[in-house]
Homo-oligomer: A and B are copies of this chain.
Amino acid sequence: MRFFWASSVKAFRDFSPCDLRRVHFRASWGIRATTVLYQHSRPFFYQTQTGDSTDMATKEGKSNKLSFQLKTPKGTRDWIGIDMVLRESIFSAITEVFKRHGGTQLDTPVFELKEILAGKYGEDSRLIYDLADQGGEDCALRYDLTVPLARWLAMNSSVQHIKRYQIAKVYRRDQPAVAKGRMREFYQCDFDIAGSYDAMIPDAEVLRIIVEVFEALDMRDYITIKLNHRKILDGLFTACGVPEDQIRSISSAVDKLDKLPWDQVKLEMEEKGLKSEVADKVGEYVRRNGGREILDFIKADGLLCANEHIKKGIEDMELLFGYLEAFEVFDKVSFDLSLARGLDYYTGLIYEVVTPLSTPEGFANAQKKTKSKSKSDDPNVGVGSIAAGGRYDDLVNMFSKKRQIPCVGVSFGVDRIFTIMKQRLEKEAEEGNATVRSSEVDVFVMAFGGKGFNGLLIERMSVANQLWKAGIKSEFAPSVKPKLPQQFKLAEAGGVPLAVILGEDELAAGKVKIKELGLPEGHPEKEGYLISRDDLVEEIKKKLSKPALPIR
């Protein structure tokens, strides 16, 4: 069982990241293995789910007379097995896209000086993990990856242009909601373009990158990118008569339009002190979304296009739309005047990627539907945001007055993406249209013999060694004198496709037997065949290059 799992863990670790079909395929085998596991060792997998599910730990704890619970800290978890493999495959797919666009990796320390983080996150600052005083510097665990980037850009004034990406854990002392995938330690996955370029060119590339990422994850058909422009939004509020000092609070009310009906949003506005008729005027505009027609509408509206900010915003959006068509991603965006985004530091284009897949119903529907473009008129869209970002031209300036470097970027919510992918894989596994190959080991070296058989351990070791030297992933039974059936069981448990079988007489004649495992009865090579040991590596490589190998 353990072996079955241990090897299931290794499933599809060697995947070409963008080949997600293949990942799904193998993943479902892995999931199979996991399912089996659940029956045999629930505590194990249960435990790996989160630091909060401690019943098993407690049990152990008691039986051990340990003074403390054996568990991971609240809101954290261990990653291993199929979850780890799936997470890694998502990261590789994303990294592949980042590199295709010339991305450069940055790795910053897990903690920063407290002052660096101070005053960047508003009231959420209470969620920052401080380190105990280390006699000197006050430090805190990073809360996101954007502020460390800004700190780095401020420190390194020689950097004028960079496309940087970072995939790393961030920390928030939030109330964990494991089911929703809200943890205290979780991954963020950011791509940002810093530097002065001609207007909207990097913005368009970031949107192109978003679409390529979800294409690599086989989710392109299920996402919509909601777009808006801070200059248009704020200008619109001003034009409607929203007092300057109320703009951000009204803005946050409007942001809820994707979850609440208009009259509730209006109510909130009025409670925030906005005149009813002003609210209605705002409502006429912010309830609109679509494509170019929104631009035409604004341009045709005397009130709006009189506003300088809006004029600038319209110019940007017109440039952008042209670029998005060249990048063939225009069909994925929805110009949504109600999109506001929480963070204050955005200064231009803002966006949010939504998908129906993040709700059970949405997921079910999406599976039923033949792949359909899910535009924002889809009732499900807007329920879950799985990536978001925008342009922030002034953040670096907060650290270094000398330094003004415009930035635009996106952050992928990999935990939500992970949840969706896992759901999907489990579904594939249920459908069981894939058989389980739970190991990436290619060759199992075994031995057999008659009376007085000594196990040929040394010989198995040196054959395994011969294969390792050739870079071939190989294992052998870790015991001196294993029975042949036992060795086959290990190989099959790992779904290893090839066996190299050693026998005393064959070895004496300088030969070994190669056997493809899982061949159908009556197959000419069912019983395997002998080859000279000198040809072993070459023969194995030939066999492994054939995609025809049976998948177990």
| Chain A interface residues (CB < 8 Å from chain B) | 1-3, 5-7, 9-10, 13-14, 18, 37, 40-41, 43-44, 47-48, 51, 56-57, 60, 63-74, 76-81, 84-85, 88, 99-113, 115-116, 129-134, 136-137, 139, 141, 151-152, 154-164, 169, 173, 185, 197-198, 201-202, 204, 208, 212, 322-323, 326-328, 399-402, 439-441, 457-459, 461-462, 465, 468-469, 471-475, 478-480, 494
Contact B478 A158, beta carbon cutoff 8 Å = no
A64 contact set on B, CB distance < 8 A: 399-402
A66 contact set on B, CB distance < 8 A: 399-400
Identity of the chain B residue whose Cβ is nearest the Cβ of A68 in the assembled complex: B115
Q: In the complex, what's the smallest C-beta–C-beta distance from A109 to chain B, in angstroms?
A: 4
Contact B439 A102, beta carbon cutoff 8 Å = yes
Which of A13, A100, A113, A157 is packed against the most chain B CB atoms within 10 Å? A100
Contact B2 A161, beta carbon cutoff 8 Å = yes
A43 contact set on B, CB distance < 8 A: 156-158
Identity of the chain B residue whose Cβ is nearest the Cβ of A467 in the assembled complex: B100
Q: Contacts A13-B99, A70-B154 given; 9 further ones with Cβ under 8 A? A: A48-B156, A68-B116, A71-B113, A76-B109, A88-B105, A99-B440, A101-B475, A110-B110, A212-B468
Contact B158 A44, beta carbon cutoff 8 Å = yes
Contact B70 A169, beta carbon cutoff 8 Å = no
Contact B132 A162, beta carbon cutoff 8 Å = no
A112 contact set on B, CB distance < 8 A: 72-73
How far does the alpha carbon of A475 sit from the alpha carbon of B202 in the complex, in Å?
A: 12
A14 contact set on B, CB distance < 8 A: 99
A113 contact set on B, CB distance < 8 A: 68-69, 71-73
How far does the alpha carbon of A261 sit from the alpha carbon of B9 in the complex, in Å?
A: 49
Contact B80 A107, beta carbon cutoff 8 Å = yes
Kindly identify which residue among B56, B458, B468, B475 contacts A208, using a CB–CB cutoff of 8 Å.
B468
Contact B161 A115, beta carbon cutoff 8 Å = no
How far does the alpha carbon of A99 sit from the alpha carbon of B65 in the complex, in Å?
A: 38
Identity of the chain B residue whose Cβ is nearest the Cβ of A46 in the assembled complex: B156
Contact B101 A468, beta carbon cutoff 8 Å = yes
Contact B109 A72, beta carbon cutoff 8 Å = yes
Contact B101 A197, beta carbon cutoff 8 Å = no
How far does the alpha carbon of A359 sit from the alpha carbon of B490 in the complex, in Å?
A: 46
Identity of the chain B residue whose Cβ is nearest the Cβ of A476 in the assembled complex: B201
How far does the alpha carbon of A546 sit from the alpha carbon of B3 in the complex, in Å?
A: 43
A72 contact set on B, CB distance < 8 A: 108-109, 112-113
Contact A201 B479, beta carbon cutoff 8 Å = yes
Given contacts A6-B163, A73-B109, A161-B3, A402 and B63 within 8 Å (CB-CB): yes
